[in-house]
Chains A and B, each alone.
Chain A
Amino acid sequence: EVQVVQSGTEVKKPGESLKISCEGSGFNFTNYWIGWVRQKPGKGLEWMGSIFPGDSDTRYSPSFEGQVTISVDKSINTAYVQWGGLRASDSGIYYCARAREQWVADAFDIWGQGTVVTVSS
């Protein structure tokens, strides 16, 4: 089965660091762009950025550049997004998703279940 499975719920305090993950299976992970999408409570979808595991080419939304780091370990078919110092405004659901076609940063056809991140003192 083609799927991406995300790491579990996180509850953190402001200023703490965090790294969440997205593991792909059932497809050639190296050849597909993986995107990250944030959804704040009750709000819409925000594209954060995408990474191509084959060469780690990474693109960030201007809204997220410098705020998060997207990375990948292709040896274990896993993509990550990390924060160096969380803020309450980082609370939300974070989805990873696979691009529909190999090599092409196109529509996302396979979505993870979402990782809930809560940042609160």
Chain B
Amino acid sequence: DIQMTQSPTSLSASVGDRVTITCRPSQTINTFLNWYQQKPGKAPQLLVFGASNLEGGVPSRFTGSGSGTEFTLTINGLQPEDIATYYCQQSYSRHKTFGQGTKLEIK
């Protein structure tokens, strides 16, 4: 199976900051990389699909980029409502693995 490694595993930032989360698959996955946001007590929500395509309704401060074996999710201008855990997921192989998650907190 393709292993997905996210970094950092936790992150504390201030409102207005630029935040970057990285995801590295154990093998190349082209751009078959998705990002999800999960707020406490809620189901995950799709933010970005195909590495860089913003899901409808997602604020434009979220940006996904990358290909192959390195991907990033960037939040430009962190807002209080962005407090959540963020997961990457590859949809390249038959087995759709998730990263371990990055918990984002506000300073």
Interface residues of A (CB under 8 A from B): 35, 37, 44-47, 50, 59, 61-62, 95, 97, 100, 105-109, 111-114
Contacts and interface: CB of A to CB of B under 8 A. Distances in A.
Give chain A's interface secondary structure class: strand
A112 B43 contact: yes
Interface string B44-83: 1110011000010000000000000000000000000000
Give chain B's interface secondary structure class: loop
B30 interface: no
Counting chain A CB atoms within 10 Å of each CB, the highest count among B32, B45, B55, B91 belongs to B91
Interface of B: 1, 32, 34, 36, 38, 43-46, 49-50, 55, 85, 87, 89, 91, 94-101
B49 A45 contact: no
